[in-house]
Structures are given as C-alpha cells and as structure tokens.
Homo-oligomer: A and B are copies of this chain.
C-alpha cells in the first residue's frame, strides 16, 4: 500500500487531535484512501509537554525546517494559527513544493490574496475546511457541491465561544461576564477571548465564505465588526419580549457591485432555524438561485471535530499526490482569471430591520418626537413597547423598525441625541428575519 508522508507544524489542541485520529482511525482512512498516511514530523517549540497522544521517537522537533524542507514530506499541516510566523512557514512550504492544509482563518482572511496566489501559481490545492465552522463541510460544499449555483447570501453562526455565551445568557440568565468565565473554565473560551467575543474570528470566517461564495477578494479592514461584549441581559429579555433571540452572525451578501460583509449581534425570530443553534454548535445557511435555502450544522470547534476536517483535506490532497495531478478545484472556488476584487458595501448603505432601545423621559409627546424624527429619516416603525412608567424619569422605550437604511438610522439617532427626550445613548441591534 502506498504511503503519503505528512508533516505537522503546531502540536496544540487541534494538532494533538490530528495525531490521535491519524493513529486511531488509520484503518478506516486507508480503506477510504487506498493508501496510508504517515505523520513523519511534528514541529513545535514545546516538545516536552505530554499531549496525551503517542508519538514515535524522532518525530517531534523544535526545528520547523525539518518539516518545511523535508524532501520526504508531501503535505504540510499548519496549525500554529495567527499571521506570523504561520505565513512565513506556509509560504516556505509551498515554495518547497509542499501542499498545505491549514485551519488558520486569521491568516487567510487577512493575507488571502498573497497566500492563495502562491498556491494558484504553484498549481497546488490548499486545504482550509477546518478554518470555517470546524467539521462543517462548508468549504468543500461551496467549492464543489454548490458549483452550479449563484449564491446570493450566507448567514452563519460560526463562533462557538460567542454562541455558547449568548446561549447561557438566554437560557440560564447568566450575565455576559459570568458566562464568559464559565466558557473559559470549560475550555470553550481562551484566556484572551477578544477574537471570539469581539467578532473578529467570526469576521475572519465571513471573509473566507465571501471569497468562495462570489469569487472576490475581500479587504478585511472594510468589514464591519461588532462583538457581543456590550450585550446585556436586558437586551436578551427585550428580544424575548418581541419573540426574538440574539445571535452573533456572520452575514455575507452579493450586492452586485459590492459585497455586504458584516459581523454583529443580531435579533432573529425565535422560530428562525439559526435560533435553534445553541451552545458550541455552528451553522451556516446558504441562499442561492437554485436550492433556495440550505444549511449545514455541526461542531464549530474542539480538537477532534476540527482535526477531522483537517484530515479530510489531507485525504483529498493525498488523492492529488497519488494521481500526480495539480489542484483539481480552484483554490478559491473560482478560476483565478475570473476572480474579482469587489469592495465591501459601506455599513451605512446596508438595509435591514432595527431594534432600538431608548431611555426616554416619561412625559407626554416623547413618542411623537422620536417617531417624528425617525419618520423624517424614512424609518417606519413596526412596533413599540414602553416598559414601566415613572413620570418625569427615564423609562425604556423599545421600537422595532421595518426595513431601513443604516445611514438613516444613524442620522436619526444622532439627531435624537440632541433632543431632551432621551437621557442615554440608545441601544441599537440589527434584526435579521
């Protein structure tokens, strides 16, 4: 039986999952591939710590070049994450004729043009299924299964940490800080949770989905990103009162001359299928011209789910190696000659529904002032709830709008901030239905 030799850079959570699966499931992998996958080198700065998986002597090394320049190795798995030195390593691996598999969404989202171009130039596949939605087969589906369709939009819950926190807030009434601490204790959140809770990780994934769905590069810095750290139990309760849940969404829409890519907490109706995705589960919904709506759901993180996607890519690329062919499918789903360079739609130009919470003064005429200013900005109101009543003091006034333009909302709120009818900066949460 033929042997495909693989090198691994990064022996962390996902890396040790890769080692475990290649050992535990070697039979089923060989039965599917018709060849054996052998992990010949693992490079990591820490070669002492026991990861709970068996590694043959001589496999572990501190010298990354034992992977990158190893003539035996066909496929390099990069799992150190972050932009550097991951990018240097990945580029060097490709320059040395290695095919690469990675879970590094940050690198591909921020430096995709450079990394993907080199893979295209070399004619190699570059596997990154594990970069979005863990084991959810969204990358392969966009590149192959949905290749006949014109994708219109993608909406996803693609960060398990944020979804776990929001689920705990919604279901068990935990405050954000408490739920975050709990997630950290359970290993669902990192010591520095910024990327997860501030939406940055979700935006990395949104950028990658956008590239593959519409065949366009995405300037990461143009993406509107808002995290969940400002979401309070009050917001969750208000959402519930309107029959909504709050989820951190990655939203990507083809708008013709631009692509709308935005990440923010959003209110979605309780009977929306994404509202059923709780805890660390992820889900990606695809809307297109032929299938209407499809959804893929699964574990979005964790050692084994993510590693299973990594090895799925390794197996796919091993088939190329066995056949002696270059990449079959364009690295970014579209032929490089057709690849576009569309701008991201300015957030002020998007249109959606809005949930607005004002701390209004409880005196006659307040609603008339607020609704008047909203009306002047072409914003029409779907429903209003005024909670409690305490004349002369602030009371929460909650409005849901019909479809409105973001710039009109922002302009109207700026104007309202200059009136004397509201006492605090209003809370704004976008709605997706």
Assess whether A308 is interfacial by the CB under 8 Å rule: yes
Q: Are A305 and B328 in contact (CB under 8 A)?
A: no
Contacts of A404 in B (CB 8 A): none
Which A104-161 residues have C-beta < 8 A from chain B? 129, 134-137, 140-141, 143-150
Assess whether A307 is interfacial by the CB under 8 Å rule: yes
* Separation of A388 and B270 alpha carbons in the complex (Å): 35
Assess whether A238 is interfacial by the CB under 8 Å rule: no
Q: Mark A367-386, 1 if CB is under 8 A from B, else 0.
A: 00000000000000000000
Q: Are B298 and A298 in contact (CB under 8 A)?
A: no
Assess whether A424 is interfacial by the CB under 8 Å rule: no
**A296 to nearest B CB, angstroms?**
6
Contacts of A140 in B (CB 8 A): 137, 140-141, 144-145
Q: Are B315 and A291 in contact (CB under 8 A)?
A: no
Contacts of A21 in B (CB 8 A): 148, 290
Which A136-192 residues have C-beta < 8 A from chain B? 136-137, 140-141, 143-150
Contacts of A143 in B (CB 8 A): 32
Assess whether A82 is interfacial by the CB under 8 Å rule: no
Tally A residues with Cβ within 8 Å of B: 62
* Separation of A188 and B131 alpha carbons in the complex (Å): 38
Contacts of A263 in B (CB 8 A): none
Partner of A330, one of B24, B32, B144: B32
* Separation of A30 and B311 alpha carbons in the complex (Å): 29
Assess whether A86 is interfacial by the CB under 8 Å rule: no
Which A281-339 residues have C-beta < 8 A from chain B? 289-299, 304-305, 307-309, 311-312, 314-316, 319-320, 323, 325-326, 328-330, 333-335, 337-338
Q: Are A297 and B297 in contact (CB under 8 A)?
A: yes
Q: Are B149 and A25 in contact (CB under 8 A)?
A: yes
Assess whether A225 is interfacial by the CB under 8 Å rule: no
Contacts of A292 in B (CB 8 A): 299, 305
**A69 to nearest B CB, angstroms?**
27
Can you list 15 A-B contacts (CB < 8 A)? A25-B290, A28-B149, A30-B338, A31-B335, A33-B335, A137-B137, A137-B141, A140-B141, A146-B308, A148-B308, A291-B299, A294-B296, A295-B297, A319-B329, A323-B323
Q: A148-B314, A323-B328 are in contact. List 18 more A-B contacts (CB 8 A).
A: A28-B150, A32-B147, A33-B147, A33-B335, A34-B335, A34-B337, A135-B294, A137-B144, A146-B312, A291-B305, A292-B305, A293-B298, A295-B298, A296-B296, A296-B297, A297-B297, A323-B323, A325-B325
